[in-house]
Every structure is written in structure tokens, then in C-alpha cells.
Amino acid sequence: MTFISTPRPDDLPGRPAIVDHATWQSAVDDLLVREKAHTHTGDRLAAERRRLPMVEFDGTVEVVGAAGPIRFIDLFDGRDELAVYKHMWHDGAPHQGQCEGCTVTAWHLQDATPYLAARGVSSAIFTVGVQDEVEPYTDFMDYRVPWFSVRGLDEPIGGDMGFYTVYLRDGDRTFLTYRTTGRGLEPLAGAFGALDRTPYGRGETWEDTPQGGPEGDHACWYWRRDADGNATWGPTGRPTPQWTRPDATPETTLGRDGSDAG
């Protein structure tokens, strides 16, 4: 539904038009029809995911956790399904120099863990970092999802990081069933859905923004902030979730790859 309102002196470019409540309700009702159609399309895609084929692999391969080596199959913790996020890692980098995108994803996932467990799905985070570096980081972030090093392992356990990967167990047999990355990770992070429902959205240049609206920045510009809350990808910034931690302090270097630049 398209509607036209008469501009008022206090109307500003790029902001929603000011209308009466009945006109607003009509527009919301019209959008709701399309939102429901979008939801039902997602339901159909989810049904297709449940029908994907799967790949069997050796579940006795060991990964390394805080308590030492453990067989992959034991990560299921007796459940039939296992959901894993593969977290990128920068060797030798301090906390603020680790991957901001992976930090944002992992931070969102930790609150989902008990709900997944209630449905019979175990959770874990894999990384190619070594445990001696990973453990101080997970302690700092107070992660409750267990982390495991898969350094040197190939797919479907190791391999490329930045993926959400799902596995199935059938007795002593293990299978890879699904994986996604990039914008496929967005449904795992509720902040994206929340921002998409605000008038200014994510503030990214790729978005279709009303003419005169706030100028967008590069994708994911808000994933790193400095101590004053300003978005920055320079050496004074941290991945945004890190500022929720009591021990987060202002820094002057990313310490990534031996330089001050990320």
C-alpha cells in the first residue's frame, strides 16, 4: 500500500511520514501480509533443510577441549544432534584483535544453548586456535558454550572457519547435515532482525533507504566500538560484545598479525 501525506514544517527528509493512526494501521496491516508470506517461505526452506542428504565421517577423530583431547562423537553428550559454530582465530592476537564477526555470532549463540539442549541439540564452538590462547579468551568472554580446537583437521570437523555447521549421530555413526556462512548466519543473531525493524535499519550502504535518510556506512561498521562507544575498526576498538565484559579496557593496538591494523 502506498500513501501520501502532506509535509509539515517539522518533517525531516528521510524520516517516516507523519500520518494519523488509522492510516498508519492500514500500512502496517498491508506490510503484515507480506511479512507472513516471508515467514511461510522460510518455513518451506526449513523443510527443505530437513530433507538435505548427509555425509558420514569418522566420529572417533579427536578435537582438543579445556580438559584435553576428546572424540568428536562425545561432543554430542548423548544427544542425537550437534550444532557448531566455527570461530575464526588470529594466532597471537589479544582479545580485542580477534574476529569481530565471529565474536558477534558467538555472543548471540550462548543464550540459545539451553533451548537447543532442551530440544536434544548439543552446542559447541570450534576454532583453529590453540587451547593455550583460546582458554584465556573464553574466560574473558565468560562463554558457557564449550570451545574446542580443531587445528590441523580437515572438513567436516575442521576446515574453513566462519561456518555454522550441524551434525547428526546415529549410535556410533556421525554425519554432516548442514552448514552456512556469510549472511546465512544472520538468523542466529537477533540484533540484525531487531535493527531491520527500526526506521534507520542497520545503517549500511547496501540497504534501500528512503531518500534523505541517514547516510549508510560499510557493512558491519558497528561490529567494533571504542571505549566512548564510537564505531571504529582501528586499533582503539574492540568487537562490540567485548564491552559488556567487566574487564574490558581501552586499548591502543589490535596486535593482529604483528601490526596495529586489522
pLDDT (tens digit, 0 to 9) for every residue of the chain, 262 residues total?
A: 444 445 555 566 678 889 999 999 999 999 999 999 999 999 999 999 999 999 999 999 999 999 999 999 999 999 999 999 999 999 999 999 999 999 999 999 999 999 999 999 999 999 999 999 999 999 999 999 999 999 999 999 999 999 999 999 999 999 999 999 999 999 999 999 999 999 999 999 999 988 888 888 999 999 999 999 999 999 999 999 999 999 999 999 988 754 444 3
Phi-psi region of 181 (alpha: psi -120 to 50; beta: other; left: phi over 0): beta
Residues 6+ apart with CB under 8 A from 23: 3, 5
How far is residue 226's CA from residue 242's CA, in Å, rounded to a whole number? 10
Reference 4, options 31, 32, 23; nearest CA is 23
Model pLDDT, residue 262: 37
DSSP H helices, 19-153, are 21-49, 100-109, 113-118, 131-141
pLDDT, position 210: 86
* Cα 163 to Cα 161: distance, rounded to the nearest angstrom: 6
pLDDT for position 12:
66
Query: Is CATH 3.40.30.10 correct for 55-181?
Result: yes
Find, among 74, 94, 69, the residue nearest to 149 by Cα: 69
Give residue limits of the domains in the chain. Answer: 55-181
